Amino acid sequence: MDKQHLNLSIEPDLIAKARDMGLNISDELDKSLRDRLNLTDVQIDRSIEHCEFCNKPGEKETAKDVQAVTNTRDEVRHPDLLTWLWPDEKWICNDCLRRKCRRIL
């Protein structure tokens, strides 16, 4: 995402202390605003190749896989494909996902 330039008024001693500590003022402001606005920056770990609940290996589900299920109106998703579960921020196989959904309903 592109960033915009912004003029801010900050006390000179704060700028000097931030520079002495090696802080990036722009990054610190971004983090502070995201925290204040309750915006999360999700980093998906794509190196994981297994379900983080049952450890079954699998490939990651793609948008095409999900669209295929939606187009056929078939509720059965491939059990071995992995889906990104948010806000838990974990990979889960569709078998575990289905089991966990049943418990909720």
Domain count, the chain: 2
DSSP three-state, residue 82: strand
Mean pLDDT, rounded, for 42-54: 87
82: in domain: yes
The whole domain housing 86 covers: 44-105
Q: Are residues 85 and 51 in the same domain?
A: yes
Q: Are residues 55 and 91 in the same domain?
A: yes
Strands (E), 1-105: 82-85, 90-93
102: in domain: yes
Q: What b/e sequence results for 22-38 when a residue is b if at least 16 CB atoms lie within 10 Å of its CB, and e otherwise? A: eeeeeeeeeeeeeeeee
CA geometry: angle 92, 93, 97, nearest 5 deg = 75
Question: What pTM value is reported for the model?
Answer: 0.51
Q: Mean pLDDT of all residues in the chain?
A: 83
Q: Are residues 29 and 56 in the same domain?
A: no
Distance (Å, rounded) from C-alpha 96 to C-alpha 49? Answer: 15
